[in-house]
Amino acid sequence: MRIIVAAIGRLKQGPETELAERYRKRAAQTGRQLGLRDVEIIEIRESRADDAGKRMLEESIALANIIPQGAAVVLLDQRGENLDSAALANQLSQWRANDKAAVVFIIGGADGLSPSLRDKATLRISFGAATWPHQMVRVMLLEQIYRATTILTGHPYHRA
């Protein structure tokens, strides 16, 4: 199973990028024991449209185009479920057991996601009611993916 993090916007060089890459690599390494093929990041260029609705639509179309057939789609959404780490690990384990070829985590742009893309979601998750910077959301998501792989492999990183 592949894990894909698809995000609108690019991270610039700096501490956030370094931390995101560190968690991505750790998740990929630990995930190999679980049969995960890779943890990939796909960055989608932000739309330059003048209208917010058009930007949202263009970005949503670009994101929808990278979702593999039959993949589980997870949207990061402030109105989503506030899963704990063990629940996320359990969900990944279920998708793997059900032979999902991929799980795609989607981080939308500042204008949000189109209803048609939101309708494709298998799951919507939230990191709480606060508004987080895009860079921090990516780091937190990758850390949670890494934590999920450690829970599933019995690695001592997760202590709850």
The whole-number pLDDT of residue 113 equals: 93
Domains within the chain, CATH numbers bracketed: 2-153 (3.40.1280.10)
| Residue tagged 């930007």 (tokens) | 55
Going by the DSSP 8-state scheme, the letter that residue 128 receives in this structure is -
Among 41, 17, 160, 12, smallest CA distance to 89 is for 160
The whole-number pLDDT of residue 74 equals: 98
Reading the chain (160 residues) residue by residue, the pLDDT tens digits are 999 999 999 988 899 999 999 999 999 999 999 989 899 999 999 999 999 999 999 999 999 999 999 999 999 998 899 999 999 999 999 999 999 999 999 999 989 999 999 999 999 999 998 888 889 999 999 999 999 999 999 988 877 6
Backbone angles phi, psi at 138, to 5 degrees: -65, -45
The whole-number pLDDT of residue 18 equals: 95
pTM for this model (two decimals): 0.94
Helices (H), the chain: 15-32, 52-64, 85-97, 115-119, 134-153
Report how far apart, in Å, the C-alpha atoms of 83 and of each of 6, 127, 150 are: 20, 8, 16
CA atoms within 13 A on the CB side of 24: 18
